[in-house]
Amino acid sequence: MSQPQIETTTTVPIRHQSGTIRRWSAFYKRLAKNKAALVGAAIVLVFVILAIFAPLIAPYDPKLVDMPKKLQTPSAEHWLGTDEMGRDILSRLIFGARVSLTVGVLSTLLGAIIGVFLGIVAGYYGRAIDSVIMRFCDVLLAFPGILLALAIVSILGASTTNVIIAIAFFAIPTFARIVRGSTLSVKKLEYIDAIRAMGSSDSRIIFKHILPNVLSPIIVQSTLYIASAIITASALSFLGLGTQPPTPEWGAMLSDGRHLVRSSPHVTLFPGITILIVVIGFNLFGDGLRDALDPKAKK
């Protein structure tokens, strides 16, 4: 007599699991077709591994000063040479990945959380709330991002934490606008009206039905914005308003070697190339995610 009950309880999760597996499999197949996206993903993965295992991978202490060996060109002992204080450039680049990726990810995450909340509230409730939130976003978008970040860091002070706050601040309107537009489209669907008619609360509709349907553009924008955040953080450090010495950071390394461009170009060349490669990696991966998550690409 218990056999029908056993069949009923076991088939539901199996079907749900198989459906999830099929969706992820289809997403991976679409992503795998984009070779540039795979290259970008590989670049990002390599730098993430370097950042996590920096103490094990870096050949030298990035803060170790060795003046007799200053400004050495690339050699077997120092693959990328040394800076004007004799510090190994390769080791500083590897440890610098920790700072740059941390700033990029945390600032994007903070900006996305606030921006997504504002965007959903504006799109769902509309009217006066929508107007106030969007005018606030318009004010922020009226300023170039780097100038707004400069102003915020100048007020708060030069530090890695303040750089994260500054970059996250001008990420808010970008995420808010994207999510607002997606929310306006989703809330007009008939099943949302049906759920509301059944007595579901606004919070349940927003977090259980609208938010999952607007995640795709959020994921894509987050991946692309990390690249922009890394460039901005490097620019602030180049100007002396970001991560402070002796902590290795790519923008600060560019600043330290700017007066040595002619005599020792390797001091600035390698940090610049590193920033370029990471930004390209995130952009390629973000473009691939956008194509893979595009509903029109689904069969």
Higher pLDDT, 289 or 47: 47
Chain centre distance of CA 100: 11
Q: Which two tokens stand for residue 248?
A: 């290795």
Q: Which two tokens stand for residue 299?
A: 């069969």
Q: Give the chain's end-to-end CA distance (angstroms, integer).
A: 42
Q: Which helix H or strand E contains 224, and what residues bound it?
A: helix 215-238
pLDDT the model gives residue 142: 86
Closest CA to 149 of 172, 173, 165: 165
Whether residue 71 contacts residue 256, with contact meaning beta carbons closer than 8 Å, is answered with no
pLDDT the model gives residue 23: 67
105 Cβ contact partners less than 8 Å away, ≥ 6 residues apart: 226
Q: Is 26 exposed, middle or buried (0-12, 13-18, 19+ CB in 10 A)?
A: middle
Q: Which two tokens stand for residue 84?
A: 């004007």
For residues 201 and 130, give the distance between their C-alpha atoms in angstroms, rounded to a whole number. 19
For the segment 133-141, the average pLDDT, to the nearest whole number, is: 91
3-state secondary structure 150-203: HHHHHHHCCCHHHHHHHHHHCCHHHHHHHHHHHHHHHCCCHHHHHHHHCCCCHH
pLDDT the model gives residue 10: 40
pLDDT at 223 over 80: yes
For the segment 4-9, the average pLDDT, to the nearest whole number, is: 42
pLDDT the model gives residue 140: 87
> What average pLDDT is seen over the chain?
86
The band of 245, judged by pLDDT with boundaries at 50, 70 and 90, is confident
Q: What are phi and psi of 289, to 5 degrees?
A: -65, -40
| Local structure of 122: helix, strand or coil | helix
Report which listed range, 179-193, 266-280, 282-296, is most confident: 266-280
For residues 203 and 196, give the distance between their C-alpha atoms in angstroms, rounded to a whole number. 11
pLDDT the model gives residue 11: 40
What are the domain boundaries of the chain? 35-51+87-297
CATH architecture, domain defined by 35-51+87-297: Orthogonal Bundle (1.10)
For residues 240 and 229, give the distance between their C-alpha atoms in angstroms, rounded to a whole number. 16
| Local structure of 252: helix, strand or coil | helix
Q: What are phi and psi of 82, to 5 degrees?
A: -130, 160
Kindly report, residue by residue over 54-92, the tens digit of the pLDDT: 999 999 999 999 999 999 999 999 999 999 999 999 999
For residues 69 and 80, give the distance between their C-alpha atoms in angstroms, rounded to a whole number. 13
pLDDT the model gives residue 7: 42
Kindly report, residue by residue over 143-187, the tens digit of the pLDDT: 888 888 888 898 888 889 999 999 999 899 999 999 999 898 888
Whether residue 229 contacts residue 170, with contact meaning beta carbons closer than 8 Å, is answered with no
